[in-house]
A and B are shown apart, each in its own frame.
Chain A
Amino acid sequence: MNKAELTEYIKALDKESDAREGRQYVEVTVLPARLHELAGKIRENEELNFDFLVCITGMDYGQELGVVYHLRSTKHGHELVVKSRTADRQDPHLDSVTDIWKTADFLEREVYDLLGIKFTNHPDLRRLFLDKSWGFPLRKDYVDDINIVTK
């Protein structure tokens, strides 16, 4: 499917999410509560069949924290971007998609380690690169006076 058809199909599939054509890929913004349901639907649906989760990126939007999923379908060849954000900076929670794509195991651990976003129902959420007491370096308000020079 090309980008226009894909946008229409997803709008028809899930009325509450916001699908639009970006510069490169079709982008779908979804609320955290509906994330897991949408992920299951786009994996199981025969026309869409997004079975390859390429990348999970954690983002700090300034006021909110969010995640960006890049997905691809090995059968049809189309690609999709799913975004989700939460305004809670003290204790952010999102649903884990480890039961849908097994690669999310390590990728979500990395997002937790560097940004502090917790994923519910993750089989083993531990810090990956850094120690337990380290802060969350990729946040924009991470302060390290010794090492990082801010202009």
Chain B
Amino acid sequence: MEEQVINSVINEEEEYIINMGPQHPSTHGVLRLVVSLKGETVKNVEPHIGYIHRGIEKMCESITYQQIIHLTDRMDYLSAHINNEAVCLAVEKALEIEIPDRIKVIRTIMAELTRIQSHQLFWGTWGMDLGGLTCFFYGFRDREMILDIFEETCGSRMIVSYNCPGGLMYDIHPNFQKRVKDFIKYFRKTLPEYDQLLTGNVIFRERTIGIGRLSLEDAISYGITGPSGRASGFSCDIRKHEPYSAYDRVKFTEVLYSDGDTYHRYLARMQEMRESMDIIEQLIDNIPEGPYAVKMKPVIKLPEGEYYQKVETARGELGVYIVSDGNKNPYRVKFRSPNFVNLSVLNHIARDFKIADLVAIGGSLDLVIPDIDR
């Protein structure tokens, strides 16, 4: 009997492997994590992806440039406007078309509304993962106001194909400016509620401060952009470094912290919401007059060559690399997706923390799985 007890004590030191499978309430999509544990400490996290790989890059080789817009919507569906804008800008730059100011300003306002809506969803679902179910209802309630604005102007709530090469699909609704101004007034009063719920909460701070630290050298070496990288001090905001659309005429600050832990990744997104509201306020009153679309040929053929366009989505840098051989279908389209690169750092920062912290860290990286698999 005593020998059996001693044997079982020795076996406690071995590692064992558990599977956080594709269907799991807190993996935000179909991501499979194979976690090696020693006791409750995480030793190795291995992501298995491909459960939503739809072959978008291969599909793009057999469709026209206007049809690619409808596929980019569905990659990172929480930054749908910004994804569309990337492809439109690439095509317009290749054809060397001059875009009127009205289109640029409206595209920028829509992009910032998309960014706010994406961070609201991040706040709601991450709060729910950490245990506070109220956050889910607050976040989704406020997000509905932005979805109403999208529905009135673009026709659809989430998957909008509003940007197209040459401009916009339709002109903005007459109610647009008033609704956006009402939303900003409402949300500035409501955002302190978010801070009261989570930011100052003792349990939340214990769960997130000092957890999952990412240093600046690692952020650059792993290529982490977006709020996750800026919380580590990596200055990578494309809206500042290489402004596109109307970002060169608005004043806003790039949100940088130097700590790089989970708490500061969260704070970076909260502050970005305030900066986005500032940008919208600067633009909403002076939308210039003009056409809402430039006349384009029905069949778009890009001149032979390669074009790379980068934009700042809510999660990082999205790059669109188009190789054209002169036909109406592209030869090769590659999407440099921010979530794919952000996932690769999960193993590095979750080591030697407990398994309960893995949920907090994975949620703070704000991953959207269809963008990883494309």
Residues of A within 8 A of B (CB): 22-25, 51-55, 57, 59-60, 68, 70, 74, 77, 101-103, 105-107, 110, 114, 128-130, 137-138, 148-149
For B57, list chain A residues within 8 Å (CB).
Answer: 114, 138
7 chain-A/chain-B pairs, Cβ below 8 angstroms: A23-B306, A51-B221, A55-B319, A57-B334, A74-B235, A101-B223, A128-B50
Q: A59-B323, A103-B222 known; A24 and B308 CB under 8 Å? A: yes
Binds A, one of B4-12, B249-257, B335-343: B335-343
A103–B58 CB distance below 8 A: no
New A-B pairs, 11, CB < 8 Å, besides A23-B306, A103-B341, A137-B55? A22-B306, A24-B308, A51-B220, A54-B223, A57-B321, A101-B221, A106-B344, A107-B340, A110-B340, A128-B50, A129-B53
Name the CB-closest residue of B to A25.
B308
For A102, list chain B residues within 8 Å (CB).
Answer: 218, 221-222, 344
B 55-66 to A, binary, CB cutoff 8 A, 1 in contact else 0: 101100010000
B223–A53 CB distance below 8 A: yes
CB distance from B90 to the nearest CB of A (A): 11
A128–B223 CB distance below 8 A: no
Interface residues in B136-194 by Cβ distance below 8 A to A read none
CB distance from B45 to the nearest CB of A (A): 13
Interface SS of chain B: mixed
A129–B373 CB distance below 8 A: yes
CB distance from A62 to the nearest CB of B (A): 10
CB distance from A145 to the nearest CB of B (A): 15
B58–A138 CB distance below 8 A: yes
A59–B308 CB distance below 8 A: no
Out of A54, A55, A107, A129, which one reaches B50, CB within 8 Å? Answer: A129
Out of B222, B235, B321, which one reaches A55, CB within 8 Å? Answer: B321
B234 within 8 A of A: yes
CB distance from A61 to the nearest CB of B (A): 9
**CA A70 to CA B323, docked complex, whole Å:** 14
**CA A52 to CA B340, docked complex, whole Å:** 15
For B49, list chain A residues within 8 Å (CB).
Answer: 128-129
Out of A53, A77, A105, which one reaches B241, CB within 8 Å? Answer: A77
B 9-22 to A, binary, CB cutoff 8 A, 1 in contact else 0: 00000000000000
B50–A130 CB distance below 8 A: yes
B336–A103 CB distance below 8 A: no
B247 within 8 A of A: no
CB distance from A60 to the nearest CB of B (A): 8
For A23, list chain B residues within 8 Å (CB).
Answer: 305-307
A52–B220 CB distance below 8 A: yes
B85 within 8 A of A: no
CB distance from A27 to the nearest CB of B (A): 9
Q: A102-B218, A137-B58 known; A70 and B319 CB under 8 Å? A: yes
A70–B221 CB distance below 8 A: no
For B307, list chain A residues within 8 Å (CB).
Answer: 23-24
B317 within 8 A of A: yes
For B218, list chain A residues within 8 Å (CB).
Answer: 102
Out of A25, A55, A103, which one reaches B344, CB within 8 Å? Answer: A103
B207 within 8 A of A: no
Q: Which of A105, A107, A128: most chain B Cβ within 10 A?
A: A128
